Amino acid sequence: MILKLRQLERRRRAALCVALFSWLSACTSVPLPEGNSLSSHAGMSPSRGTLMPAKLRVDSTAVLTAQTVRIVPTSTQIDSRAFDPNDLALVTNAIDRALCTDLSDRFKIVAINQPADLIVHATVTNIVATNRSAAVTSTVASFGGSAALGIPIPRLPIGLGGLAIEAEAVGEDGLQRAAMLWSRGANMITTRARVSAVGDAYSLSSAFAAAFSRMLVTGKDPFNRMLAIPSMQRLRASLGGDPKYDACKAFGTAPGIPGIVAARFGLPPAWTDKGAGLPSRGGAAH
């Protein structure tokens, strides 16, 4: 019995080592975007605080004195024929919803027809499609392996997707106050496989929103600092509750607990996320 327990422990340790090594070597490479939606690319420089591709510039004085933000709905500069329009709409709306929630920590978010100190706009410049067949295989293998070994099994390093975005914040005078070029690919450990061509892009949208919002909230390189504990309003919104500001309701509510469960089982985002302006199944009652 003792020998069997030792063998099982060795298997678990070996699986964990393989998982960690694979994570370091297996993730999607997504080129850093440079579309034509920014008013200027001047003065942008690579971030010094991340291994992920990112370039940025921020006028600290201007963003720290700003008090209000208006969010222009995210647009795309990709070949939309490669994706279902409804799936693309879910991705762009997820970006807007996450931006609205994260920026609410410091700024007052105003409606699209109201004046604001900063106008924020993001553009998706590339989506690397998630291979749906690989996602199914990965989900099944993960559940089977976890049941057999008793430890979490990473995603298979095949068919991984990715996302690339450029975004800026301009003042009422039209001058750029901050800008960012950002890209990231899915990895085996932190990005769950979802059976959707935009599954990984959808999952990664919140990572971009967190980085861009943190740059505006702090006026500094968001990658060169420790991650902050989410505020109560962000936690409430992520669980499907109403956002802090009415203007954010235009982007709907987060899928909440049903969305978390759906992601765990690899289900498409569309199964629980109802998109812009409509309550999701995870929405809290008020």
Residue extents of the structural domains in the chain: 2-271
What type of residue sits at position 137? T
Do the beta carbons of residue 163 and residue 201 sit within 8 Å? yes
Q: Which of 55, 42, 64, 81 is nearest to 223 (CA)?
A: 55
pLDDT at 26: 56
Count Cα neighbours of 161 within 13 Å in the Cβ-side half-sphere: 27
What type of residue sits at position 225? R
Query: Does residue 249 register a pLDDT over 50?
Result: yes
* Mean pLDDT taken over the chain: 85
Question: Hey, what's the torsion of the CAs at 69, 228, 207, 39, to 10 degrees?
Answer: 40
pLDDT at 281: 39
Q: How far is CA 139 from CA 1, 148, 278, in A?
A: 32, 14, 29
DSSP symbols for the chain: -HHHHHHHHHHHHHHHHHHHHHHHH-B---PPP--S-SS--TT-EE-SS-SS-EEEEE-HHHHHH--EEEEEEEEE-S-GGGS-HHHHHHHHHHHHHHHHHHHTTTSEEE-TTS--SEEEEEEEEEEEPP-HHHHHHHHHHHHHHHHHHSS--PPPSSS--EEEEEEEEEETTS-EEEEEEEEEE-BTTTS---SSTTHHHHHHHHHHHHHHHHHHHHSS-TTSSPPPPPPHHHHHHHTTPPPSSGGGGGG----HHHHHHHHHTT--GGGT---TTS--TTPPP-
pLDDT band at 151 (very low <50, low <70, confident <90, very high): low
User: CB-based contacts of 82: which residues, under 8 Å, 6+ apart?
Assistant: 127, 129, 197
pLDDT at 257: 94
Q: Which of 191, 194, 168, 197 is nearest to 265 (CA)?
A: 194
pLDDT at 145: 53
Q: How far is CA 30 from CA 64, 106, 126, 167, 172, in A?
A: 31, 31, 8, 17, 33
268, two tokens: 């498409």
The residue with tokens 């106008």 is 119
Query: Does residue 279 register a pLDDT over 50?
Result: no
pLDDT at 56: 96
Query: Does residue 136 register a pLDDT over 70?
Result: yes
Query: Does residue 42 register a pLDDT over 70?
Result: yes
**From CA 105, how far away is CA 163, in angstroms rounded?**
25
End-to-end CA distance of the chain: 55
Residue, of 143 and 260, whose pLDDT is higher? 260
pTM, whole model, 2 decimals?
Answer: 0.85
Do the beta carbons of residue 146 and residue 189 sit within 8 Å? no
53-89 per-position pLDDT tens digit = 899 999 999 999 999 999 999 999 998 788 999 999 9
Residue % of the chain over a pLDDT of 90: 64
